[in-house]
Amino acid sequence: MNVLPSGEQWVLRGGGYEATVVSVGGGLRGLTYDDRPVLLGYGEDEAAHAGIGQHLFPWPNRITDGKYTFEGAEQQLYLTEPARQNAIHGLTRWANWLRVDDGSDPTALVAGHRLHGQPGYPHQLDLRLDYRLADGLTVTATATNIGRSAAPYGYGAHPYLSVGRSIDDCVLEFTASQRLEVSADRMQPVGLTPVAGSEYDFSGGRVIGATSIDNAFTGLDGTWTVSLTDPDSGARSALTSDTPWMQLFTGEAVGRTALAVEPMTCPPDAFITGQDLVVLKPGESHTTSFSVAV
């Protein structure tokens, strides 16, 4: 038996949308509407690259040096971004997930994964991803602490909005009050700076051009939306969430063919700083959701 690089393939259809969910990482291999890409995908014979469609449990973004202290215990994570000496994007991107619904609804899917304790993260979590197609795709991520001690936790996702052409020619629109500056060499957080009036101010919607972005934003005022629009065809893709943070990345790793919009429950280094960090006590759960639509 030959196994595909992204594992099992589960296709959902409804409302003109088609989504492909995979067992490796529980990830989203593609999303289209009337055969037009809404999210950047990758081939059936490929592994996910540049984070496309991946879920980031139990932390999004980076932990500098992979080192943090929680409840008095020092922890050292594996450095999964060795060039910058960081632990990046959690522990489950390459883990095998199981489909746990009965498959009777062609518009919905539930996948699950049990995260066991390991070096740097000695906690046990049951993780669940709910996918549902209606007027777009809604993804709901839930983590439950099934261990005996409190666990630090954060969640993020890594979809790339696409309208089928270079983002340089597209109109980006979103509103945020602050941007997290990071160091050029290690992407280490430096501090927050106002967005208004800067080159990162897209509150009125404007063409991206040559602007390069790889930063977290906050001050999102509750439910927020990031939209990408082709000014010639009118094709639009948008992501909506209510997380307090989101990361934007102009996709240099994919040739600027799509824009990564990453909802995040906490900023980079949250395990170190505690900023917006969720602490799950035994038996507690945390749920996050985001939606993608045209």
Q: How far is 24 from 132, CA to CA, in rounded Å?
A: 19
Contact between 57 and 82 under an 8 Å Cβ cutoff? The reply is: no
DSSP three-state, residue 189: strand
Q: How far is 53 from 180, CA to CA, in rounded Å?
A: 23
- Report residue 289 as tokens: 């959701």
Residue 2: the pLDDT is: 87
Residue 290: the pLDDT is: 98
In the block, tokens 């890594």 appear at 158
For residue 108, the cross-strand partners are 132
Give whole-number Cα distances, 223 to 38, 129, 204, in Å.
20, 20, 17
DSSP three-state, residue 270: helix
Contact between 131 and 21 under an 8 Å Cβ cutoff? The reply is: yes
pLDDT in tens, the chain (294 residues): 789 999 999 999 999 999 999 999 999 999 999 999 999 999 999 999 999 999 999 999 999 999 999 999 999 999 999 999 999 999 999 999 999 999 999 999 999 999 999 999 999 999 999 999 999 999 999 999 999 999 999 999 999 999 999 999 999 999 999 999 999 999 999 999 999 999 999 999 999 999 999 999 999 989 999 999 999 999 999 999 999 999 999 999 999 999 999 999 999 999 999 999 999 999 999 999 999 999
Q: How far is 213 from 13, CA to CA, in rounded Å?
A: 33
Ramachandran quadrant class, 19 (left: phi over 0; alpha: psi -120 to 50; beta: rest): beta
Torsion angle of alpha carbons 269, 270, 274, 275, nearest 10°? 110
In the block, tokens 């879920």 appear at 55
235 CB neighbour count, 10 Å cutoff: 19
Q: How far is 25 from 204, CA to CA, in rounded Å?
A: 36
DSSP state of 81: B
Residue 243: the pLDDT is: 98
Q: Residues near 273 by Cβ (< 8 Å), separated by ≥ 6?
A: 267
Rounded to two decimals, the pTM is 0.97
Residue 93: the pLDDT is: 98
